[in-house]
Each structure stands twice: as structure tokens, then as C-alpha cells.
Amino acid sequence: MTRLHAVRADITRQAVDAIIDAANSSLLGGGGVDGAIHRAAGPELLAETRTLGGCPPGEARLSRGYWLPAKHVIHTVGPVWNGGGRGEAEVLANCYRNCFAIAAREGFVTLAFPAISTGIYGYPAEPAAEIAVRETRAALAANAGWDCVTFALLSGDQLAIYEPLLDESQ
């Protein structure tokens, strides 16, 4: 049985097959979760992401985890919030779909996600969480091979948004 849960935690400390990086399109590091992952993984991560050729919004790329407890990093670029009328929801849903596609292809069984696009990209936290939980449930229904999917969230406010959504969908 797949375990799906949310915790208030530093994603860079998750000992999983892959953590998901809420990256920018260059994949060369930045602020927020992306910057924290690059700092924790060490300079080898930057060297590898330089070879990946960037990543358009909604897509995902795979790298090694280097100094992280996670074996791999799946980098995905979420949408910048522009009021919701420019396809932001579909781009965000594609982030999750493409991360799960990579995880399935690689045989990963444990994953940790941040709250993609809710930081500097400004996506409202509640609709972003609804998309995250919906797409995760869909992926888990399609592939029973995952042991644990964690939403590693930075704040108690984020956790308070995710917990009822997870309770509703159990």
C-alpha cells in the first residue's frame, strides 16, 4: 500500500529515491527550494544541470543527488502565476505528471515533493495543493509501485492546507 503524507520538513534532508526540485528554467540554481537543493547537493549538481539544456515549464529533468540523502533530483519548472487565465493549472499539473513519469521509468519507489510554484512564482497555495494531491492520486492509481510519496513543506501554513486534502482523498 502506498503511503501518501505531508510533513513540515526540509526537502533536502529527505532520504528518498528522488526529491523534486521546484527549479527555474535554466536548472542552474536560484532561490527558495531550488537554491537550497543546489547548496545541499554540492557543486556537482550544478555541473550536471549545466549539461541538461534547461527545462521548459511543465516538463522535468533528472539528475543525481550527490551530497543529498536523496539518490536523485527530478527538476521541474512550475508556472509563474499570472491570475490563472494563462494555462497555469495545466502547466502545474504537467509538472507532477512528468515527475511521476520519470520516477516510473527509473523504478523509484519513494519521492518527496515541495509545494511547486507557490514561492516566488506566486501560485496560490490552496489551488496548487489541490492540483498536487489530485495528480499524485492519479499517478498512484496508475502505478501501485510507489512505497511512499511525501509532500515536504516548509511551513505550518502549507501543511494546514495539505492535511485536509489528504484526509479527504484517503
Output the CA torsion sign for 25, 31, 35, 37: negative
Catalytic residue flag (residue 167): no
Are 56 and 77 in contact, with CB atoms under 8 Å apart? yes
Catalytic annotation, pick one of 17, 21, 34, 157: 34
Residue where the block lists cell 512505497 = 147
Q: Which residues contact 123 (CB under 8 A, 6 or more apart)?
A: 78, 79, 81, 88, 92, 116, 117
Environment class of residue 32 by beta-carbon count within 10 Å: exposed (0-12), middle (13-18) or buried (19+)? middle
Give catalytic residues, as residue numbers. Answer: 34
